[in-house]
């Protein structure tokens, strides 16, 4: 009882921030992935509401529209961490959602003054705003999550990704055939984004120190858990670039996250084409069937969360062992299934469908595996680390289509798909091996705010002036 009281209310402000982050992630993914369904409605009005304009865009122009989001998204990674340190996590997350939603709301209007290029421009601007998302979200989690609850709250927050993807797939088609037509997809999803902004202004806070609603008990609990005894600002901490870029643990994390980004986005793009070309199963026109893997992905994110809590609370696994075990499951089981699905014959449709669902669903463990590891390495520099990680990961969706086009020339040729799936499986396997060897959950020495200060001998106390004059500001 005393332990519960010392943590503050049963539903505290750290839980409120987690819920808001869940909504943040869901809205981002809804606006990001609903564009593919909007395009179907905009270019084939006979399948939706014919009372709205139809555009005769070819496949090349459609691909430009879908990929244009990542042009802007990658650009923002160059300064997302700095923006977060300069303006704080609350402003960063507000900017990401408000800017993206506002631009999305005016899309149906702007299309009256141009063609597919206007759609591309809107998507680029949305990508620019949403490029701030992960740096701000991870930094906020680093500020709010007690160490003991990091897996639970982090996994809950980012399960919004799967929720947003599902909502985009399940609701976009229904909106498109309604009286609102395809413009309604932008109006509803972006309108929800603006409502979130209002809630964020009222309840959101960059840290426990800046929250207007947090209790003293909860604030003390978070600070003690994170070994914070003095209030301070991360804005004033210099960035140890050299130490970060020479850190084996951070490079292992980069490789793991790039492996995940490559293989998972390749699966998203390749499996529908493969199922259609080899097994004659049209997933794109079967919304429920397309959503099944992502339903399991969302469900499995909570299964992993509960299992992680049990393993940590009962001290069955250390945090380091937990992360590497979950990451191995999330990488290697899909890798094995990818190799297996490539050798199936056209009459084995049911087995192919099951393997496809398993590949996507089991991968949910990557968030607790390596996804949250960046906070372990450096709570003080999480925003900067996420800028680097997200920039590297954002390149993968751009390279995937090029590799897929180079390997698969005939989507009915299962041998070509075998090569592509084996490549993805190898990337999963090698990426996890590197993470197992060099990955770490220990806070790195360069996370220390005084890391760049001159070291003092035990018998001599450095004065404040000496420390300040000796600071190496390499930012």
What are the structural domains of the chain?
Answer: 10-223 (1.20.1250.20), 237-450 (1.20.1250.20)
Q: What's the pLDDT at 1?
A: 36
Summary mean pLDDT of the chain: 86
194 vs 188: CA distance, rounded Å: 10
The whole-model pTM stands at: 0.86
8 Å CB contact between 141 and 25: no
8 Å CB contact between 259 and 430: yes
Nearest Cα to Cα of residue 236 among 470, 443, 468, 79? 468
- Token pair listed for 259: 């492996």
8 Å CB contact between 47 and 41: yes
Torsion of the alpha carbons at 414, 419, 425 and 431, rounded to the nearest 10: -160
Phi (first) and psi of residue 291, to 5 degrees: -80, -20
Residues of the chain predicted below pLDDT 70? 1-5, 47, 228-236, 281-288, 454-475
Q: Which regions of 274-348 does DSSP assign to beta strands (E)?
A: none
Q: What's the pLDDT at 61?
A: 83
Greatest Cα pair distance, the chain, in angstroms, is 82
230, 394, 453 from 464: Cα distances, Å = 17, 42, 10
Phi (first) and psi of residue 432, to 5 degrees: -75, -35
Which DSSP letter does residue 463 get?
A: P
53 vs 379: CA distance, rounded Å: 49
- Token pair listed for 468: 């300040």
Q: What's the pLDDT at 13?
A: 95
DSSP reduced 3-state for 410: coil
75 vs 456: CA distance, rounded Å: 41
């Amino acid at each position: 009882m005393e332990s519960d009281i010392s943590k503050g209310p049963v539903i505290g402000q750290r839980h409120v921030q987690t819920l808001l982050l869940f909504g943040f992630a869901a809205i981002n993914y809804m606006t990001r992935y609903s564009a593919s369904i909007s395009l179907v409605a905009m270019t084939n009005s006979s399948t939706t509401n014919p009372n709205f304009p139809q555009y005769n865009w070819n496949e090349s122009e459609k691909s430009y529209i879908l990929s244009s989001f990542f042009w802007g998204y990658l650009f923002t990674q160059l300064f997302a961490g700095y923006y977060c340190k300069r303006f704080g996590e609350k402003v960063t997350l507000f900017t990401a959602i408000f800017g993206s939603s506002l631009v999305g709301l005016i899309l149906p209007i702007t299309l009256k003054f141009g063609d597919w290029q206007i759609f591309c421009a809107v998507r680029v601007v949305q990508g620019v705003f949403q490029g701030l998302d992960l740096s701000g979200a991870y930094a906020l989690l680093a500020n709010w999550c007690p160490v003991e609850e990091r897996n639970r709250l982090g996994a809950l927050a980012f399960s919004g990704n799967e929720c947003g993807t599902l909502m985009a797939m399940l609701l976009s088609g229904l909106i498109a055939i309604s009286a609102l037509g395809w413009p309604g997809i932008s109006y509803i999803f972006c309108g929800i984004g603006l409502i979130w902004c209002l809630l964020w202004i009222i309840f959101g806070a960059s840290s426990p120190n800046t929250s207007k609603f947090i209790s003293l008990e909860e604030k003390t609990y978070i600070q003690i858990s994170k070994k914070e005894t003095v209030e301070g600002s991360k804005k004033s901490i210099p960035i140890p670039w050299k130490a970060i870029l020479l850190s084996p643990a951070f490079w292992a994390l980069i490789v793991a996250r790039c492996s995940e980004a490559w293989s998972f986005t390749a699966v998203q793009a390749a499996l529908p084409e493969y199922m259609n070309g080899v097994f004659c199963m049209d997933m794109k026109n079967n919304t429920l069937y397309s959503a099944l893997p992502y339903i399991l992905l969302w469900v499995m994110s909570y299964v992993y969360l509960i299992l992680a809590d049990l393993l940590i609370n009962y001290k069955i696994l250390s945090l380091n062992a937990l992360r590497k075990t979950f990451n191995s499951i999330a990488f290697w089981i899909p890798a094995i299934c990818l190799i297996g699905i490539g050798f199936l014959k056209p009459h084995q449709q049911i087995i192919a469908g099951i393997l496809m669902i398993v590949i996507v669903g089991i991968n949910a463990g990557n968030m607790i595996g390596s996804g949250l590891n960046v906070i372990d390495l450096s709570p003080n520099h999480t925003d900067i680390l996420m800028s680097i990680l997200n920039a590297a990961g954002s390149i993968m969706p751009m390279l995937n289509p090029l590799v897929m086009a180079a390997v698969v020339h005939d989507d009915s040729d299962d041998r070509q798909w075998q090569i592509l799936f084996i490549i993805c499986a190898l990337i999963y396997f090698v990426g996890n091996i590197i993470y197992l060897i060099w990955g770490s959950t220990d806070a790195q020495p360069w996370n220390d705010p005084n890391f760049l200060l001159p070291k003092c001998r035990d018998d001599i106390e450095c004065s404040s002036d000496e420390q300040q004059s000796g600071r190496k500001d390499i930012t």
